[in-house]
Amino acid sequence: MGTLSLQRRLRRWHRWLALLTAVQLLAWTLSGIYFAFIDLDFVRGTHHRQAAEPLPLDLSTFTATLSPGTGYAFHQRLPDEWVVGIETSLGMNWVTTAGSPVEPLSAEEALALGQRLTDLNPTEAELVAEAEPDAEFRGYALPLWRLWNPDAPRTVCYLDPRSGQVVAIRNEAWRIWDLLWSLHIMDYDDREDIGTILLKVFSLLALVTALLGIALYVVIPKKWRRAGTKG
């Protein structure tokens, strides 16, 4: 095969591969730029969280039976109520200091907590009991209280009705991040699988495209490259 014929083949392959991978390469570039320049704490809404006031824990009223080797977490849910989280294979199980299951927070209690723990000043509450398509609270056990203020409905917080903890805050920066992350790893469902077939295929195609570009540079004589630059 002559040099000219090889050049034509490489150009043809490079052109079609570049067309095939161009959109995904653009998605990787744009998402990478966003990830590099945006503050992750801002994306997570950390600036909306209010610092909790440290309070003493009185264990004299604690009568629940605990098993050795199990992880526990103590959390003040309401001003006069402590709850205990017990780690299980299904997640955290929250009980009272007497060991009985906690009663879920009411909407009024959830709003009061949301106003105390965040600066969102939520006035509306909705109990989310079933998983939703592309839910913003992926990875958290249901049910959850969704709290927001009608004056800024696009910024919401999700509060666990059992522990009283704000588990997530979602804003526009997070939604853009979530969309770009799905494009970046090519997982458009739960955004968690970084080893999808699509990602592997397009990664290899992008590599081949780059190698063909280098091959073209090596194969084309220097005098032709200089002539092309002058033209």
Could you tell me the mean pLDDT of each successive run of 10 residues in the chain, 231 residues long? 62 74 87 94 94 72 67 82 82 83 94 95 95 82 95 95 94 94 86 83 84 71 50 47
Q: Are residues 83 and 136 in the same domain?
A: yes
Domain that holds residue 78: 46-170
Place of tokens 């009980």: 95
Is 128 in the same domain as 20? no
- Residue ending a domain, among 121, 138, 170, is 170
Choose the final residue of a domain: 131, 149, 170.
170
Instruction: Give residue 231's pLDDT.
Output: 47
pLDDT at 5: 66
Assess whether 152 and 219 both reside in one domain.
Answer: no
Question: Number of folded domains in the chain?
Answer: 2
Please tell me whether residues 71 and 111 are part of one structural domain.
yes
Name the region of 8 (left: φ>0; alpha: ψ -120 to 50; beta: rest): alpha
Nearest to 75 by CA among 148, 4, 3, 162: 162
Per-residue confidence (pLDDT) for residue 24, from 0 to 100: 87
Can you give the pLDDT at residue 201?
Answer: 86
Residues 77 and 147 in one domain: yes
Strand ranges of the sheet holding 81-88, from the earlier edge strand across to the other edge: 72-78, 81-88, 91-96
Do residues 20 and 134 both lie within one domain?
A: no
**Same domain, yes or no, for 34 and 50?**
no
56/145 same-domain check: yes
pTM above 0.85, yes or no: no
